[in-house]
Structures are given as C-alpha cells and as structure tokens.
Chains A and B, each alone.
Chain A
C-alpha cells in the first residue's frame, strides 16, 4: 500500500520567517495531496490541496509544490505568525473520494 514520509518532525522558526515541510510518497498512482493543520485537541483542518495535474498551488501565505517524477510534495508558509503554530499533516490519495494515507506530522512552532 501507499506510504507517506514527512520531514521534519519538528520545526521552530522566528515570526516572519518561512517554513517548509516536505513529504514523499511511494505509490505513483496517487493523484491527490492535501495538507491539514491540527491544533492541540482540535480536528484536522484542510489548509490547501493539490492534484497531480498541477505542479504548484498558492493561497495567500501558503503554497504547495508537487514533483510527480520524484514523488514528493512540499508545503511552504511565508511570513509565519504565532497562530501558524500547530501540527501539520500531509496526505496522499489514489483517487477521488478514496482513503487518505497520512504522514507522521510536523510540529511547527513560531516564536514571536
């Protein structure tokens, strides 16, 4: 089955700096890659997603890039703010409506 690896497991940045989280996946049939943000004790919330027919997608301070050949995708957060502090999960899915396989998560800490 699909395997998703996520790095780093923890990331500490200064407010205003950029943060980058990377994920690799094993199944070349995967074609949908969402990113979720989970605050302590709360539900995972979708922040951005990308499909395999697109190489990059941006939404204000958040962007995701996808390299299908290398089977990796990355989350980029610019101008980080303390409220960006949370655990971020990447995931992969093989088709619309199918199960998600999650990475192990990255704890992002933004220091004011």
Chain B
C-alpha cells in the first residue's frame, strides 16, 4: 500500500514568511509524528498526534511553530515568521495506534533565505 507522503518535497522561502508543510499518513494509522532533521544530525521530535489531538507538543521549539490534524488523517505543520535557523528537513511519520513501529515519509526540505 501507499506509504507516508509529504508535500512539497522542497520549499524555499524568505526570512519572515509563513510556510505550511503537509503530511499524508498511511491509511488507518491513528498516530502521526513530526520531526526535524538538520544536516548531519538525527531527527528531533517536534509534535505527536493521536487522532485529532496533539498528545505531546513538547518538541516544538517556540510559538512560531504550530501543527494541526483536524480530521485525524492529514496533518499540516505551520511555521510563522520563518528564520534562517528553521532550515532543515521536516519529516513526518505515522504508526498504527498503540504499536511502536513508525514509518517515515520522504521529508520536506525547507530552505529559508
């Protein structure tokens, strides 16, 4: 079946602009995760949804970052007033509720000029 998909694959924006990154999880997966991966480093947790609600948003770096999952499927990560330090690959993963295995999407490479 189809894996986790993310759009866009690449996003270039200017400092101060607003961006939205989209994640489509594997069908039937109730848990959805956002991670951020800087060059040469491991993914860092941002936020985790179980269904429609954010079960854990402790990894969001500040209030410029926000994520939603209104219908318990697709999720959007929103970044306001982007800064050059936000440049990274943003990865989404999903898992079957209550199971451990997280399946990752291909990521969105965000570049803030």
Contact = CB atoms under 8 A, between A and B. Distances in A.
A61 interface: no
A44 interface: yes
Contacts of B40: 105
Determine the main DSSP class of A at the interface with B. strand
Interface string A33-52: 01010000011111001010
Of the four ranges (under 10, 10 to 19, 20 to 34, 35 or more), the interface on chain B belongs to 20 to 34
Interface in A41-73: 42-46, 49, 51
Contacts of A105: 40-42
Interface residues of A, number: 25
B31 A100 contact: no
A97 interface: yes
Given A43-B105, A43-B106, A43-B107, A97 B44 contact: no
Interface of B: 4, 31, 33, 35, 40-45, 48, 50, 56, 59, 91, 95, 97-107
